[in-house]
Chains A and B, each alone.
Chain A
Amino acid sequence: MAMNQDITDVDRSLYDFKDDESDFYRLDEGLTEEIVSRISDEKHDPAWMREFRLKSLRLYESIPVPNWGPPVDELDMDHIATYVRANTDMKGTWEEVPDDIKNTFEKLGIPQAERESLAGVGAQYDSELVYHNVRQEVADQGVVYTDLESALTGEYADMVQEHFMKLVPPTDHKFAALHGAVWSGGSFVYVPKNVTVEIPLQSYFRLNARGAGQFEHTLIIVDEGADLHFIEGCSAPKYNVANLHAGCVELYVGKNARLRYSTIENWSKNMYNLNTKRALVEEGATMEWVSGSFGSHTSYLYPTTILKGDNSHCEFTGITFAGAGQNLDTGARMVHLGKNTSSYINSKSISKSGGISTYRSSIEVARSASGAKSSVSCGSLMLDSESRSDTIPAMDIRTADADIGHEAKIGRIGDDAVFYLMSRGISEEEARAMIVSGFANPVSKELPLEYAAEMNNLIRLEMEGM
């Protein structure tokens, strides 16, 4: 996370620096049974997980690449290293983390953010976590926040086995199967019944290695009546070869619980971001997604919410900014199963300099979901005619007792608005950036202040030279 809040001082070097990886442990590029077995060995998997990985690999080989969505033809798994480990194990204090890696996270503002506004931090560097810590008072509440590998063999092993890739099975799609085969790193969070975590937890994922993939798995269980805000950040330096991120997020929101999951995604523009996020929401519970997609060469990202319990609720607030060379296919999916469930999607997208932004969604209301309500509002801003913006929403409604509304608008920055601001002495470039920031306001106002500032910085960066 960038803590520099003076937007005029931000430059791209903030995210684009690279560390020397000559002494890192790196498995061969490609995807074979041998490589998957070696990952399993490295991670000391329990037997069931080893078998799970190999089964997922077989599924990956049999499932075709999606025929919809942006092209992924240039993503060659034979040239992706699926496991890269820095020369350190996971530490509990920043002082213990090797200097070069610590400096990386210092530049990204993570330790400072932890001191000032977070209840716990997990920092992943390439394939493994290098730092994990949770405040003592939060741990004293019974909150578990640890790396997934530790959880897999520790006290919560049964809970992990019960939930791991049950919401996103490897049969779901090709990249879920890939994730099942080579996943590494990520966090496990358990918030006990009726516990409110007052300040957010954050995981930050940094992919430093050239031509590598990152496949972290985040598993969060928020028990009955509990409350959590979890923040996810990610970045990578830019290379001239493809990098891949195929993470997976599984969220279980218990009865009357609340979970907010915020993401500021700023992968480098050589990244294929093929991420899968899904939440299961029980009776009376609330799921909130806040999502900002700024980076990546290609993205497939559609957080899915299954409103299983009666009276459960979900809100999705997202923004996508597609600049030169980017093809970002983002949106959300809501599945209404319980009675009197409700969902709200507020999505914004911006396309400029030849960028392609696609909003894709589905609202599915099952026969059992009587009293369901859903509202979708989708706005797209085109900043030039080299760019492209498509809106592809679907609604599948199977009960009469539902109230579904959808509206979408596409357009450009109005000349009147620019003229008005210019008449107040603001330059045209500044005026356009202000209008775009205003357009993104529904998303930024949902973020904690420092993250909103980072998002505005990213928008400002993208708008430079317009």
Chain B
Amino acid sequence: MTQTFKVGHLPSITWNRLGLNEEPVEASLSGNLPGSRYLSLPEGTCMRTLSFEEAEAQLKSCAPVQEQEKYVAGKAPVYHPQAFGTGLGKDYENVLKEAGVPVEWIELSSTEQEETITCRMNLRDGESASCAQILHLKENTRVTAVYVSESAEEAGGVLALSVRAVLEKGAFLRLVLVQLLGSRFTALSDVGLSAADNASAQLIQVELGAQKSYVGVQPELIGKGASFDSAMGYMVTGQQLLDINFNTVQRGTQTLCGMTFDGVLNDHARKTFRGTIDFRNGSSGSKGEEQENVLLLSNDVENRTMPVILCEEEDVEGSHGATIGQLDEQVLFYMATRGIDAAEAQKMMVRARLGAVARRVPDEAARKRVQDYIDRKVNCDTCVRAAECPQAMNEN
């Protein structure tokens, strides 16, 4: 059955006519795990499979309480708060619950070395699958968790991913999300994090595949000195749609947040980015930064960007920036003096922009597949073409 719901709610809604307050989704979610899944856990790791309700109760017992804001932009927030916030939000959580998606509870304790979780999902054409996990990192535990979703190039289906993580004092989580699904897939990827004193989370995310992709991330920096650092790369081409909602809540003192987003849009691609830094009362000494850089390669793209800062604390430093446009003319001129035409220069710059994020993927096999996917997208007929390169047209 097809479910209709909304994801990626802005905590501070704005003019409805812009269509940016949330994104409607139509998808048929199932509670089945991917038919082909490789899951590797550190030796001795305790993993239990729970119902969504059981997992919520368990989460409530170990995660710090997430306080909701009374006012946002001068009025009571209109979105529905969650007990444990995630980027895609309450509606998505409800849909997973109704679909009977099991939740894998993975408890990780401190060892001398950094441990790795690998979850590779290879979906077949027509498959609808879900994967929901909660990572509980005990004090001072260091973990890298890599999630790679793939399918055949032309395949279609649905993948609903949910990763929630509770980071106790001093814990470190490097979360790597790579989405390389086929061109008819709908992908939903939802992340919620809570970080206690001096805990830190790092997110490396690459979004290249699927026809429609919805990404949500909500880190709650609750403890003193907690931090969140993210780097996301995306390339959206053809008729692809990408909707991104990041909402970092900084509640503890001296918390740090740094988010960068580097993307490329071509053909008839549509992309929406909402990025919120939310300084709550009590977050004195905190800093938050976000930056989005978008390269536009076609006159038919739609790029929507919303970098938001909410602030109810005096002693903070927040900044956001966005640059949206074509390649800089000076770069093109420099390339031309080296005998590289505009179309080839664009390909190089796309590779460079996405490669900078791809190189941070720690899993060598996943990194290779990302590089290959980027090369395929850059070189395919419908991607960067001299005839459609606006600057090439200008030169003619």
Contacts and interface: CB of A to CB of B under 8 A. Distances in A.
Given A71-B74, A356-B71, A395-B322, A408 B309 contact: yes
Chain B CB within 10 A, most for which of A327, A329, A389:
A389
Interface stretch (B31-39, B323-331, B335-343, B374-382): B323-331
B245 interface: no
Given A360-B14, A390-B308, A398-B302, A404 B324 contact: yes
A428 B164 CA distance: 47
B12 interface: yes
B117 interface: no
Interface string A399-414: 1111111111111100
Contacts of A71: 74-76
A70 interface: yes
Given A362-B15, A385-B315, A394 B298 contact: no
A394 B306 contact: yes
B315 A362 contact: no
Contact of B296 (A356, A390, A400, A405): A400
Chain B interface category by residue count: 35 or more
Contact of A390 (B21, B72, B297, B302): B72
A391 B308 contact: yes
B74 A390 contact: yes
Given A69-B74, A380-B309, A390-B311, 4 more contacts: A68-B73, A329-B74, A388-B71, A406-B320
A19 interface: no
A380 B309 CA distance: 10
A336 B316 CA distance: 34
A391 B312 CA distance: 12
B310 interface: yes
Interface of B: 12-16, 18, 20-21, 71-76, 78, 279, 281, 284, 296-326, 390, 394
Contact of B319 (A398, A403, A410): A410
B309 A390 contact: yes
Contact of A396 (B304, B312, B313): B304
B18 A404 contact: no
Contacts of A327: 74
A382 B284 CA distance: 12
A397 interface: yes
25 contacts: A71-B75, A329-B74, A358-B12, A362-B14, A362-B18, A367-B300, A383-B314, A390-B311, A392-B306, A392-B308, A393-B307, A394-B15, A394-B20, A394-B305, A396-B18, A397-B302, A400-B297, A401-B326, A403-B325, A403-B326, A404-B322, A404-B325, A409-B318, A409-B319, A410-B279
**Which 5 pairs, one residue from A and one from B, show the smallest C-beta to C-beta distance?**
A400-B296, A404-B324, A70-B74, A410-B318, A403-B325
A406 B311 contact: no
B13 A67 contact: yes
Given A358-B74, A396-B302, A398-B303, A390 B18 contact: no
Given A327-B74, A367-B299, A408 B307 contact: yes
B149 to A, nearest CB: 29
Contacts of A411: 316-318
A41 interface: no
Contacts of B78: 67
Contacts of A387: 312, 314
Contact of B74 (A356, A382, A401): A356
A300 to B, nearest CB: 10
B74 A388 contact: yes
Interface string A87-103: 00000000000000000
Chain A interface category by residue count: 35 or more
Contacts of A410: 279, 309, 311, 316-319
A383 B325 CA distance: 36
Contacts of B71: 356, 388
B312 A399 contact: no
A44 to B, nearest CB: 37
Contacts of B314: 382-385, 387, 412
B15 A68 contact: yes
B74 A407 contact: no
A396 B273 CA distance: 10
B304 A395 contact: yes
A202 interface: no
B287 to A, nearest CB: 10
Contacts of B394: 401
Contacts of B317: 409-411
A404 B309 CA distance: 19
Chain B CB within 10 A, most for which of A356, A383, A410:
A410
Chain A CB within 10 A, most for which of B307, B311, B317:
B311
A370 interface: yes
Contacts of A370: 299, 390
Contacts of A384: 314
Nearest to B319: A409
A397 B322 CA distance: 12
Contacts of B299: 367, 370, 399-401
B311 A382 contact: yes
Nearest to A396: B304
Interface string A58-84: 000000000111110000000000000
Contacts of B320: 391, 406-408
Contacts of B300: 367
A406 B302 CA distance: 17
B296 A397 contact: yes
Contacts of B304: 394-397
Contact of B73 (A329, A397, A405, A407): A329
A375 to B, nearest CB: 10
Nearest to A357: B74
B306 A408 contact: no
B319 A385 contact: no
Nearest to A72: B75
Contact of B311 (A69, A367, A388, A398): A388
B102 to A, nearest CB: 36
A400 B298 contact: yes
